[in-house]
Structure 1
Amino acid sequence: MTEKIKRVFPGGNTADGFFSYYDYMIEQNDANHIFCIKGGPGVGKSSMMKNIGSEMIRLGYDVEYHHCSSDNNSIDGVVIPALKVAMVDATAYSTKW
């Protein structure tokens, strides 16, 4: 079985301002788990999500990496569609997540 890695930018700055698909990373009502992590810059949020994604790929799952619109090396979320599980950087969100 060949695992798929999907890389997306769910948000971006456009001529009409910032446009966001972050609310569509995973359907909240259908999700088994959504893990929301918060922390300051450089504490390891992206590294942890990249490591989790790598381990899920090793286990044979497809993985979606949702990259940060302002830093393409940073991850704002990782989704394992088959498990209906996501981990998202919720640092910027106070009530949504």
Structure 2
Amino acid sequence: MADDDELFKALADPTRRIVLDELAERDGQSLFEICARLATRHGLGLSRQGVSQHLAVLEAAGLVRTRREGRYKFHDLDTRPLQRIATRWLRPETPESTP
């Protein structure tokens, strides 16, 4: 499991947040598909190597899982690390805590 520093580092970059948005909209994309969506939908002309590096940071933070099918590698969003940090500081409201 990645530590919180890796998670916050991954989330700090706007391009990585866009990659996460794209995976949230449609899971199971290949590197080629992610590059195409970043270029056409967001005007980001990143190289495949650049996108691959962003995906590696997201994977190290636990936000992206990969799976291989034949020659292809697919990327899926994993929101569990986000849930972990959200629950770290958010507490359920109790009747006494509401104004």
Q: Compute the TM-score of the two structures, normalised by the length of structure 1.
A: 0.32
Quick check: which has more Rg, 1 or 2? 2
Q: Compute the TM-score of the two structures, normalised by the length of structure 2.
A: 0.31
Structure holding more helix per residue: 2
Structure holding more strand per residue: 1
